[in-house]
Amino acid sequence: MSTRKAHHKSRFGCATCKAKKVKCDEKRPCGYCAKRHLSCSLAATSLPLPSPETIERSWRTPEARFTTPSYEAPSFTSTDFSLFRHFTKSTALAQADDSASEIVWREAVLDLATQYPYLLHEVLAIAALHLRTTASEQSAFLERTAAEHQAKAIPLFREALVANSTETALPLFACSCLFVPYHFAAVKNPSSLLFNEETGSLAEWLVLIQGCAAVTVEHNATIMQSPLRALLGDLYTPRVENLSGGSTDARLVELGRQLPVIPERREVYEQVMIRLRVCYYLSDNANTPLNRKNAALRFPPIMGHSFTEDLALKSPAALIVMAYWCVLLHRVEDRWWLKGRVKPLLLKIAELVPFEYAQLMAWPKERVASE
């Protein structure tokens, strides 16, 4: 009788292999991730930070590079070091709403960025766009640099999102907090804030931020016990029966009745309008800049898949709801990445809404013009 070959069961495989349901050889990095140039949770995740002498030499010599192990193999230039320093000294403050969140951006987020390449690329992309606000003569170069880092961040972020774990909850959350500022700061055509200019499909950040919202809910305890909790502000969610206390709620209730929705989709929009009413209630009653901003940014992640499908199809009802979201954005338009963006976006939405529903667009257009 032939003897059966012993089978070694992988009990300590990496997160990617577990997600893909493949056997992990448990090397560091494992063979599966190394072959596909993926980030492996078994490998040392920290990027090797250069010494001060290395940084100084890189500024003197533009050709200088440093790399991580070959399975990731990103390279960084003297410009990238300068952008990292700019984020530390300036962008972190611009992103912050109070002293607590400033410390988080400057210390906790940057510490995570040195461990997770997708977050580091996103940080450098944001820093480049923020630097552009005070270095207009370098606009073209900084925009190109930001786009290059964003192009590197997205596929790595997607991989981490698929193989999400408690370990990656914090960097994924931190990265998602930068997606909206990046997209609004980078855009040239306001229509691309919601739709891809070339394909007409939904803007990528809207899809990614909803996926990350699911991870945030799954690993809520991890985030709440971390320094990143300071980015969330007041998480109070009012009961539906208390929403009438908001100064805008009666208008939103009436809007829900008037939206051009077929009967089969009525329940979807009832839920969407409740979520929008919650965001308005929080905005109307916000007592800090952080809570007011979060009230506006809270809506896209919780819109729901069915509503997102309608928005991708440019459904009039979905577009009108997004027009009302623009009012919440306009209330926090003093952010560096939002200045001058909301009105063009609203006008573009108005162009897409059929004329027969123009009366439903009147209030958002009036508020954005007057507030």
End-of-domain residue from the set 211, 231, 251: 231
CATH number for 26: 4.10.240.10
Tell whether 184 and 210 lie within a shared domain.
yes
Report the sign of the C-alpha dihedral through residues 67, 70, 74, 75, in that order.
Answer: positive
Tell whether 20 and 54 lie within a shared domain.
no
| pLDDT at position 15 over 70 | no
The residues near 5 (Cβ < 8 Å, ≥ 6 apart) are none
The residues near 350 (Cβ < 8 Å, ≥ 6 apart) are 323, 358, 361, 365
Report the first-to-last Cα separation within the chain, whole angstroms.
Answer: 85
Tell me the mean pLDDT in the region 231-255: 87
Neighbours of 173 (CB within 10 A): 24
2 domain-assigned: no
Strand partners, 121: none
Q: Residues 74, 68: contact at Cβ < 8 Å?
A: yes
User: How buried is residue 185: exposed, middle or buried, by Cβ count under 10 Å (0-12/13-18/19+)?
Assistant: buried
pLDDT at 39: 61
Kindly report, residue by residue over 178-228, the tens digit of the pLDDT.
Answer: 998 999 999 888 778 888 877 778 888 888 888 778 878 888 899 999 999
Tell whether 252 and 316 lie within a shared domain.
yes
Quote the domain boundaries for residue 308: 240-370
End-of-domain residue from the set 231, 251, 281: 231
pTM for the model:
0.76
| pLDDT at position 55 over 90 | no
pLDDT at 65: 33
Kindly report, residue by residue over 17-34, the tens digit of the pLDDT.
Answer: 766 677 887 776 777 777
Neighbours of 333 (CB within 10 A): 17
Tell whether 206 and 179 lie within a shared domain.
yes
Containing H/E element for 29? none
**Cα 69 from Cα 44, distance rounded (Å):** 9
pLDDT at 51: 40
Tell whether 77 and 198 lie within a shared domain.
yes
Structure tokens at 162: 């698929």
Distance of CA 344 to the CA centre of its chain: 21
113 domain-assigned: yes
Strand partners, 67: 75
Kindly report, residue by residue over 262-278, the tens digit of the pLDDT.
Answer: 999 999 999 999 999 99
Query: What percentage of the chain exceeds 70 in pLDDT?
Result: 84
Q: How many CA atoms lie within 13 A of 70 on its CB side?
A: 3
Give the pLDDT band (50/70/90) at residue 60: very low
| pLDDT at position 64 over 50 | no
Task: Give me the residue label for tokens 């338009």.
Answer: 333
| pLDDT at position 62 over 80 | no
Number of domains in the chain: 3
Give the pLDDT band (50/70/90) at residue 358: very high
Tell whether 29 and 90 lie within a shared domain.
no
90 domain-assigned: yes
Tell whether 133 and 100 lie within a shared domain.
yes
1 domain-assigned: no
End-of-domain residue from the set 206, 231, 256: 231
| pLDDT at position 54 over 50 | no
Tell whether 322 and 286 lie within a shared domain.
yes
Q: Residues 160, 168: contact at Cβ < 8 Å?
A: yes
Q: Which amino acid is at 142?
A: L
Task: Give me the residue label for tokens 């809570």.
Answer: 291
Q: Residues 61, 78: contact at Cβ < 8 Å?
A: yes
pLDDT at 371: 53
Tell me the mean pLDDT in the region 10-19: 64
Kindly report, residue by residue over 291-337, the tens digit of the pLDDT.
Answer: 999 999 999 988 888 999 999 999 999 999 999 999 999 999 999 99
38 domain-assigned: yes
7 domain-assigned: no
Tell whether 215 and 252 lie within a shared domain.
no
Task: Give me the residue label for tokens 């985030």.
Answer: 223
Q: Residues 176, 232: contact at Cβ < 8 Å?
A: no
Kindly report, residue by residue over 281-292, the tens digit of the pLDDT.
Answer: 999 999 999 999
351 domain-assigned: yes
pLDDT at 206: 87
Tell whether 136 and 215 lie within a shared domain.
yes
109 domain-assigned: yes
Kindly report, residue by residue over 135-176, the tens digit of the pLDDT.
Answer: 889 999 999 999 999 999 999 999 998 888 889 999 999 999
pLDDT at 47: 38
Tell me the mean pLDDT in the region 45-56: 39
**Cα 164 from Cα 170, distance rounded (Å):** 10
Kindly report, residue by residue over 83-129, the tens digit of the pLDDT.
Answer: 999 999 999 999 999 999 999 999 999 999 999 999 999 999 999 99
Tell whether 191 and 86 lie within a shared domain.
yes
**Cα 324 from Cα 306, distance rounded (Å):** 18
Q: Residues 227, 108: contact at Cβ < 8 Å?
A: yes
Tell whether 184 and 275 lie within a shared domain.
no
pLDDT at 38: 67
Report the sign of the C-alpha dihedral through residues 258, 264, 270, 272, in that order.
Answer: negative
Q: Residues 263, 317: contact at Cβ < 8 Å?
A: no
**Cα 72 from Cα 33, distance rounded (Å):** 10
